[in-house]
Amino acid sequence: MLNRQLLVNETFLSIQGESSHAGRLCFFIRLAGCNLDCAYCDTEYAGSAEDGVAMTVDHLVSQAKLSRVRLVEITGGEPLGQANTPVLCQALLAEGMEVMVETNGSLPLSLLPPAVRKIVDCKTPSSGMVEYNLYDNFHILSDRDEVKFVILDYRDYEFALTVIEKYKLRNKTPNILLSPVWGELDPARLVAWMRADLPPARLNLQLHKIIWGPGKRGV
Q: Which domains does the chain have, with CATH numbers?
A: 2-212 (3.20.20.70)
Inter-residue contact 77 to 47 (CB < 8 Å): yes
**Residue 99 to residue 113: CA distance in whole angstroms:** 10
The answer, yes or no, to whether residue 208 has pLDDT greater than 90, is no
Average pLDDT of the chain?
95
Inter-residue contact 20 to 102 (CB < 8 Å): no
What's the mean pLDDT in 205-218? 83
The answer, yes or no, to whether residue 131 has pLDDT greater than 60, is yes
C-alpha distances in Å from residue 180, one per residue of 7, 78, 148, 187, 208: 30, 21, 11, 6, 14
Inter-residue contact 146 to 20 (CB < 8 Å): yes
Residue-level pLDDT at 219 = 65
What's the mean pLDDT in 9-23? 94
What's the mean pLDDT in 5-11? 97
More confidently predicted of 193 and 214: 193
Write phi, then psi, for 46 (nearest 5 degrees). Answer: -120, 15
Q: How confident is the model at residue 3 (pLDDT cuts 50, 70, 90)?
A: low
Helix axis angle for 57-66 and 85-94, nearest 10°, is 40
**Residue 127 to residue 109: CA distance in whole angstroms:** 21
Q: How confident is the model at residue 150 (pLDDT cuts 50, 70, 90)?
A: very high
Residues 6+ apart with CB under 8 A from 25: 13, 14, 15, 16, 69, 71
Beta bridge partners of 110: none
Residue-level pLDDT at 1 = 43
Residue-level pLDDT at 215 = 72
- Exposure string of 161-196, with b = 16+ CB inside 10 Å and e = fewer, is bebbeebebeebbebbbbbbbeeebeeeebeebbee
C-alpha distances in Å from residue 65, one per residue of 27, 60, 104: 9, 9, 27
The answer, yes or no, to whether residue 21 has pLDDT greater than 80, is yes
The answer, yes or no, to whether residue 158 has pLDDT greater than 80, is yes
Inter-residue contact 19 to 177 (CB < 8 Å): yes
Percent of the chain whose pLDDT exceeds 70: 98
The string of pLDDT tens digits covering residues 167-184 is 999 999 999 999 999 999
What's the mean pLDDT in 91-97? 98
